[in-house]
Amino acid sequence: MAAPFLPTTPDEMHALGWDRPDVVFVSGDAYVDHPSFAAAILGRVLEARGYRVAILPQPDWKSAEPWRAFGRPRLFFAVSAGNMDSMINHYTANKKRRNDDAYSPGGRIGLRPDRPTAIYAQRCREAFPDVPVVAGGVEASLRRIAHFDYWSETVRPSILVSSKADLLVYGMGERPVVEIARRLAAGEDVKALRDLRGVAYLLGRSEALPPHRFDDAACDGATIELPSFEEVGKDPRAFARMTALHHHETNPLNARRVVQRHGDRLMVQNPPTLPLSEAEMDAAYDLPYARRPHPRYAEPVPAFEMIKDSVTTMRGCFGGCTFCSITMHQSRIIQSRSPASIVGEVRRVAKDPAFKGTISDLGGPTANMYKMRCTRPDVEAKCRRLSCIHPKICPLLGTDHAPTIDLLRQARAVPGVKRVFVASGIRMDLANRSPAYVDEMARHHVGGHLKVAPEHTSETVLAAMKKPSQASFEEFAGRFADASRRAGKEQYLVPYFIAGHPGSTVKEMIELAVFLKSSGYRPRQVQDFIPAPMDVATSMWHTGLDPFTLEPVPAAKKLRDRVAQRALMQFFQPENWFTVRQALLDAGRADLMGDGPQCLIPSRPPPEAVEARRRAAQAAAARGGDDDGAAAEPAADATYVHAEDAGTKPTVGYRPGRAGARRRRR
């Protein structure tokens, strides 16, 4: 039976008989009591250990009054921007404000500021100056060192500088947050907690670096100093060197302490938290969640609607894709729940009167990495390889899909369950090693379309991404088609590709477009590369260098180039005709224009292209025509945020059709 919701107001708190909470979680998300939401799972983990936890979801940040609502927390404030980085949540790859927020009731925007972690932490200080502030979540985790900020196009210092948090918990927080609560409750000062794994902190100007040594056999007790904030802000090569050094200290079994100077202060990052055991994972997910949004919300929370009937099986990813932050936040070591715990959750979902019979997803960051680990723990403890499967699959990696197949069979046998889908990504190069897994997926777990992510066709770009070769995708496509035929089902792959990734130029995108044309794929959803903080690909995009080799890597930084790459991926859309035509002419590929079967676009523009161009010209004129290449952009109906404004102005919400500040000034 689900426990009552954690309190979100003083009245709810008093109804539980509390005078004040031990811990207040401040979150940029709506409060959804589901284990897919960080505030819920961390709050329940603390609750299970006897702590009183309150949730302050999406508070009005314009004053500190909401932070005073519960009174002074006995132990600490826990601050997070939410499940998603706020800047990616607020802005598209082309720095346009998004029109919705999946983590807010009704999908409304404007309920959290840009970069809320620092703002929330400052309000905590204003409300109760003597209460420790602990920052965490994806946004803080990926900004724990100096980082490139795409939205302001600057190198920013560690978020510890702007937030002034006492501690920053990076990565997954169950173990650190419990230890922080335990030790603060025992009367320790927050500064004494600087010996914890998985935390970072900022030393005072007069404080000396503590003589830490972490007790695990593989750690040599060394401290790695990164180039300073000032260095990486001025020198691209120093930024690239920082990236390489930092990424090699991510294996929790052998990572060393990392420091970085910020002026006369020192940022200290302790080694990552050790992976959770199966029993610890089970304990967190087996807690009594309500599995729905708090009743305070009259409108649905879109993110919950997407995941309400999903079940998480594992965490982490050993793929090491350069554009992905999962490894940096969840670890490259796979942490899996037991089949009993997972099937138990499926049973609880199936008993819900609102359940319609379909488990929407049984998986994790990569669904078919469940239970996969290095077969040599002694080697795993020393390994500093950033990917276990690139450029080829490590021979020591256990790639047995039998546990996953058995889990799928158990889940779909639960009474009341009609279908179990796998909507999480699957790693195709791993799946190719298990024909039985591909058969099982095709026969039982695909609802007509299976989403896969080959990302590109160019071997150059795929190498920059640390993704498997095009041949791996083609092999999987053949295996899946054969398995679907054997199952007597008409099913198709829905491949996802990225436009604008470092290493990709118009030449590589034309290569991809030709492949899509010849294969009959017409991607309706296209992912534009967004340089997220701390990703290896972001370092490439910012510096123009591969951080591990310091070899040059091209990057499409101009809006016009990014628009051209996206349009080439959707060459079949009439409104992209002019953009695709110009890209083909610039590349000397006029042979791809015409009526032949190999041609991407016809010789003459279709009427829809002419109309789209007219609308784009009108939109550009309204903006004053000062955006680089913006007039060529197909999506001319969305509000454009100038590069110098994106993420630097207060977020007050977006109303379609409203004139922006620049337009009003004119």
Domains 10-204 and 309-499 equal at CATH topology level: no
Q: Report residue 210 as tokens.
A: 């503590």
Residue 653 pLDDT grade (very low, low, confident, very high; cuts 50, 70, 90): very low
Residue 643 pLDDT grade (very low, low, confident, very high; cuts 50, 70, 90): very low
Answer whether residue 3 shows pLDDT above 90: no
For position 218, what pLDDT does the model report? 58
Name which of 341, 296, 273 is nearest 35 in CA terms. Answer: 341
Domain parsing of the chain, residue ranges: 10-204, 309-499
Which CA distances in Å does 449 have to 228, 419, 423, 489? Answer: 48, 14, 10, 11
Q: Per-residue pLDDT tens for 318-346?
A: 999 999 989 888 989 999 999 999 999 99
CA 145 from chain centre, in angstroms, equals: 17
Q: Per-residue pLDDT tens for 535-578?
A: 999 999 999 999 999 999 999 999 899 999 999 999 999 999 99
* CATH assignment of 309-499, among 3.30.750.210, 3.40.50.300, 3.20.20.70, 1.20.1440.230: 3.30.750.210
Q: What are 336's strand-pairing partners?
A: 314
* Contact between residue 327 and residue 319 where contact means Cβ atoms under 8 Å apart: yes
**How far apart are alpha carbons 396 and 375 in whole angstroms?**
6
Identify how many contiguous H helices and E strands the chain contains and give both numbers: 25, 22
Mean pLDDT of 105-118: 96
**How far apart are alpha carbons 41 and 528 in whole angstroms?**
31
**How far apart are alpha carbons 654 and 101 in whole angstroms?**
11
Q: Report residue 154 as tokens.
A: 């600057």
Answer whether residue 521 shows pLDDT above 60: yes
Q: Collapse the DSSP code of 335 into the 3-class scheme (helix H, G, I; strand E, B; otherwise coil) and give the result.
A: strand
What one-letter code names the amino acid at 559?
A: L
Q: Per-residue pLDDT tens for 488-508?
A: 999 999 999 999 999 999 999
Greater confidence (615 vs 291) lies with: 291
Q: Collapse the DSSP code of 472 into the 3-class scheme (helix H, G, I; strand E, B; otherwise coil) and give the result.
A: helix
Q: What are 176's strand-pairing partners?
A: none
Measure the CA angle with vertex 454, ends 440 and 511; round to 5°: 140
Q: Per-residue pLDDT tens for 187-203?
A: 999 999 999 999 999 99
For position 523, what pLDDT does the model report? 87
Q: Locate tokens 């020192």: which residue?
A: 266
Q: Collapse the DSSP code of 445 into the 3-class scheme (helix H, G, I; strand E, B; otherwise coil) and give the result.
A: coil
For position 656, what pLDDT does the model report? 36
pTM: 0.91
Fold of 10-204: Rossmann fold (3.40.50)
Mean pLDDT of 278-288: 97
**How far apart are alpha carbons 453 and 298 in whole angstroms?**
36
Torsion of CA 329, 332, 333, 338, to 10 degrees: 70
How many Cβ atoms are within 10 Å of 416's Cβ, its own excluded? 13
Name which of 190, 139, 184 is nearest 163 in CA terms. Answer: 139
**Kind and range of the H or E run holding 493:** strand 492-499
**How far apart are alpha carbons 581 and 595 in whole angstroms?**
14
Q: Collapse the DSSP code of 178 into the 3-class scheme (helix H, G, I; strand E, B; otherwise coil) and give the result.
A: helix
Which CA distances in Å does 23 have to 141, 267, 327, 344, 623? Answer: 20, 25, 28, 29, 47
Mean pLDDT of 273-287: 96
**How far apart are alpha carbons 372 and 646 in whole angstroms?**
41
Name which of 574, 631, 641 is nearest 91 in CA terms. Answer: 641
DSSP-derived pairing of the beta strands 147-149 and 154-156:
antiparallel
Question: 261: buried, middle or exposed (CB in 10 Å: 19+, 13-18, 0-12)?
Answer: middle
Answer whether residue 471 shows pLDDT above 60: yes
Which CA distances in Å does 61 have to 131, 160, 169, 255, 509? Answer: 18, 19, 22, 37, 43
**How far apart are alpha carbons 282 and 662 in whole angstroms?**
53
The gap between the terminal CA atoms of the chain, to the nearest Å, is 60
Name which of 374, 179, 207 is nearest 280 in CA terms. Answer: 179
Answer whether residue 659 shows pLDDT above 70: no
Phi/psi of residue 266, nearest 5 degrees:
-125, 125
How many CA atoms lie within 13 Å of 21's alpha carbon, on the beta-carbon side? Answer: 31
User: Phi-psi category of 488—alpha, beta or left, where left has phi over 0 and alpha has psi -120 to 50?
Assistant: left
Long-range contacts of 584-589 (CB under 8 A, 24+ apart): 584/510, 586/506, 587/506, 587/507, 587/510, 589/510
Greater confidence (619 vs 551) lies with: 551
Task: Characterize 324-351 residue by residue with b for buried, 16 or more Cβ atoms within 10 angstroms of its Cβ, and e for exposed.
Answer: bbbbbbbbbbbbbbbbebbbbbbebbbe
For position 664, what pLDDT does the model report? 44
What one-letter code names the amino acid at 540?
A: M
